[in-house]
Amino acid sequence: MTRAVPTSRSAAMPATHCVHNPYAPLGEPERQPGTRWLKGNIHVHTCEALDESISMDRIHGEDHDEVIRRSQAAPFHFDFVCTSVHPYLNNIELFSRGEQRDDFVVIPGREIQNDTIDDGGYLDGYFAGEHSKYLHVLSMGKVGGLSICAHPNFFETTRPRPGGEWAQIKKTLLTPCERLAELSIMGMEVYNGLSILEEHMGSRPYAPHMAEPCWDDLLCEGVRCAGFAGNDEFYREQYIYENYAPLGFIMVEAALTEVDILRNVKRNRFYASTGVMLADTPLAMSEQEGHYTFRISALGKVKWKAMVQRGVDTTGAGEPVAPQLIEITAPTAAAEWELELDGDWKYVRFQAESLDNPLHRAWLQPIYGPGWVDDKTL
């Protein structure tokens, strides 16, 4: 067990709101028949036999049935995928085609690619604002769905463009135009396979933290934000995944239906991964008089790390200390790790890294602590 120092000089205190563990066991009314851990690819594009005047995917997309066939085959073994198209402004409501099978689910999706949405050339875009040019928003599910910020640092680290820096994307997310606000973005891609592939194969220096700093940056702004792993790629040969860019996917505990998958993703009852698999109960939490104990579990030995945002110290004289992001690592590799937190910490998130390959990781969703305040919403 790692016993962390109090995250501020204030005494341990009960939360002013309910500190919720999204991985806690579900009660019978919430747990649908057939619920299990499902593996899914959230970011793959299909051509859908569309006219080139309304979508770029005639060139870049895969055939719908071929995506299903390859998704179910080795080495992927997916239970579901979210396919998507890149619509132009003249058909912005276009989504890919969904499908429900007994053993597989295709969730319809759409990626609004703001920089090329005007038939390949940026004019005004769909999202207004001087900082929004390189924002890409991936939507999962046409009815009752959700949206995320795709590859938030792609145009900073992978294909650098003036105005594509994360700082510009962040400004857009924190001060959204009306169209962006309507999408109710709930998270971002912490891992994007296409980004890593291009960087690792020599076009740009490889970014070892992926988009983890962007994720913590938003969380430290008081924004609830979930972490996703996607591919943004059409299936490639096995050696690509073994040597250059591991497969990105999410694991969600749900029944095999679009409705229940999306419902549990919205509940944060999922984790993102590039190869590290976690236990059926990946995170257990207990609390006693403001002292929180977390036990996180994987299927094998891994390197554990926690990112914790401490609260503002208001007990001392003078100006309060600014919120501080703290990194805590487990002393040894292990399948399980316990961490104790006291004080008015704002959030904690856990991640695991493989002993064999630093690109193989898993990211659990943040736990919002007793000091958390929803300062902003996406």
Residue 190: DSSP 8-state: E
DSSP classification of residue 161: -
Do 112 and 243 belong together in one domain?
yes
Stretch (H or E) spanning 305: strand 291-309
Residue 13 structure tokens: 């205190």
For residue 157, what is the DSSP state?
A: I
Cα–Cα distance between 269 and 275 in angstroms, integer?
18
8 and 30 share one domain: no
Query: Which stretch of 168-172, 207-211, 313-317, 370-374 has the lowest confidence by average pLDDT?
Result: 313-317
Say whether both 323 and 177 belong to one domain.
Answer: no
- Rounded to an integer, what distance in angstroms lies between the CA atom of residue 249 and that of residue 363? 11
pTM of the model: 0.90
Number of domains in the chain: 2
Co-location of 197 and 330 in the same domain: no
CA distance 138 to 148: 5
In this structure, what CATH number is given to the domain that contains residue 110?
3.20.20
Q: Residue 313 has what DSSP assignment?
A: B
Which of 246, 268, 290 terminates a domain? The answer is: 268
Q: How confident is the model at residue 219 (pLDDT cuts 50, 70, 90)?
A: very high
Residue 114 domain boundaries: 26-268
**Domain shared by 18 and 31, yes or no:** no
**305 closest CA partner among 314, 296, 316, 315:** 296
And the tokens for 194?
């296409």
pLDDT tens for each residue of 127-179? 877 788 889 999 999 888 999 999 999 888 878 888 889 999 999 999 998 88
* Residue 90 shares a structural domain with residue 183: yes
Residue 377 lies in a domain: no
Shared domain for 143 and 225, answered yes or no, is yes
Dump pLDDT digits (tens) for 15-58.
Answer: 456 899 999 998 877 889 999 999 999 998 887 655 555 555 55
Instruction: Report the relative pairing of strands 334-341 and 2-3 from DSSP bridges.
Output: parallel
- Residue 378 in any domain: the answer is no
Q: What angle do CA 35, 146, 272 make, to 5 degrees?
A: 60
Distances (CA, A) of 115 to 74, 89, 355: 35, 11, 39
User: Do 260 and 334 lie in a common domain?
Assistant: no
CB atoms within 10 A of CB 240: 17
Taking 50 as the threshold, does the pLDDT of residue 9 lie above it?
Answer: no
Q: How many angstroms separate the CA atoms of 303 and 320, rounded?
A: 34
- Rounded to whole angstroms, the Cα distance separating 270 from 236 reads 25
